[in-house]
Amino acid sequence: MRHEQRKQIQALVEQKKLRLPWYINEFFDYLDNDGCSPNTVLTYCRDIDIFIDWLLAEGFYPGERNTLPLEVLEKLAIRDITTFQNHCRNVLDNNTNTVGRKTASLKSLFHYLSQIAEDDNLYPYLKRNVMAKVKINKEKISEKKKAANIANTILLGEEFADFRSFIASGYGDKIRDQKRKYLSYKHNRERDLAIISLILGSGLRASEALSIDVNDIDWTKNKVSVNRKGDIDDIVSFSDLAALDLKEYKDIREGRYNPPSSEKAFFLSMSTNTGFSSRLKIRSLQKRFSSYIAMYEKNTLTIHKLRHSFATRHYKENNDIAMLKEVLNHSDINTTMIYTHVLNEDIHSSINKTDK
């Protein structure tokens, strides 16, 4: 993760910490010292923030949120946690896995308060940990079912070229009468096409692509230095087609975005408030991508599904799961194995043979 991105995330965490009780701030300090990534700390922060909002809304404590006493957590019952989980499902419309992640965040907090943190008398902050009795429920779905879900939402075959052509010109044809939107598209077309081509031609995560600096790209070898998930520095190859779109964006980058000499980010966004360009943020990219997909025939596509599209195509062409694991930077090959099922028609063929 780039230094500037780390600082931005840490600033968000510090802002949220002002709203939280002292002992939760200690928990975040513990996570920092334990080597937890900034993004993970921010996720914990958001999950716990939602939980405290719920506690106050339900009347567990009448005071300010940053003065919530430890005694409130000590007295919580399992039924209270179940009610919070139902709130996440029914009111916040969270799916099973999201509720499970929020439950995991609370389990980590309560574990710290009951097993690690100590007061002046060397006693734990919490003597009773209700979260120790709570199970994390995950969506039960087979690898073949996951693969089928992926296959229905990604780019396959000729759709790679079709989608690239849509970003390059098709989208503009559809919105030509919407002057403001069309001007924004024309201004950012080369940049957006370069990002999409890079992900489709390398399998990078969107956040990894946006972390790239100007000097990270080796134009002679079609390779780029990236900071990958887990804060790992890596060298990633990208396709010749991606290189063409990247170079086209490179040629117009300075003239169109006019970055200050101190700006190292390769992918830029022009600020509407200051008039200065800076590194394109993931939320801005997701918003722009949603606008494209709203006009495209496959509206189930997301920016992350481009990575799935690349992985599926890579396995089909190379039939090498170990190589794909390395390319995708997966820590566990079982995560990569799902792509062996996406286009696997062997099972269907074998069943048909029984009829013969």
Contact in structure between 168 and 307 (CB atoms under 8 Å)? no
**Residue 296 known to be catalytic:** no
Measured CA to CA, the distance from residue 206 to residue 281 in angstroms comes to 10
Catalytic residue among 102, 164, 205, 253: 205
For 301, residues 6+ apart whose C-beta sits below 8 A from its C-beta are 153, 154, 155, 163, 293
**Residue 339 known to be catalytic:** yes
Measured CA to CA, the distance from residue 39 to residue 30 in angstroms comes to 15
Give, in degrees to the nearest 5, the angle at Cα 263 between 261 and 266. 120
Measured CA to CA, the distance from residue 183 to residue 175 in angstroms comes to 10
Q: What ranges make up the beta strands (E) of 214-345?
A: 217-218, 223-228, 232-237, 268-270, 277-279
Measured CA to CA, the distance from residue 200 to residue 249 in angstroms comes to 16
> DSSP states of 275-292 as a string?
S-EEEPPHHHHHHHHHHH
Contact in structure between 300 and 153 (CB atoms under 8 Å)? yes
Catalytic residue among 17, 308, 339, 341: 339
Burial 214-245 (b: 16+ CB within 10 A, else e): eebbeeeebebebbbbeeeeeebebeeebbeb
**Residue 205 known to be catalytic:** yes
Measured CA to CA, the distance from residue 141 to residue 135 in angstroms comes to 18
Measured CA to CA, the distance from residue 134 to residue 137 in angstroms comes to 9
**Residue 330 known to be catalytic:** yes
**Residue 145 known to be catalytic:** no
Catalytic residue among 307, 308, 313, 314: 307
**Residue 182 known to be catalytic:** no
Catalytic residue among 2, 181, 228, 304: 304
Give, in degrees to the nearest 5, the angle at Cα 62 between 106 and 129. 30
Contact in structure between 3 and 14 (CB atoms under 8 Å)? no
Catalytic residue among 46, 228, 229, 264: 229
Catalytic residues: 205, 229, 304, 307, 330, 339
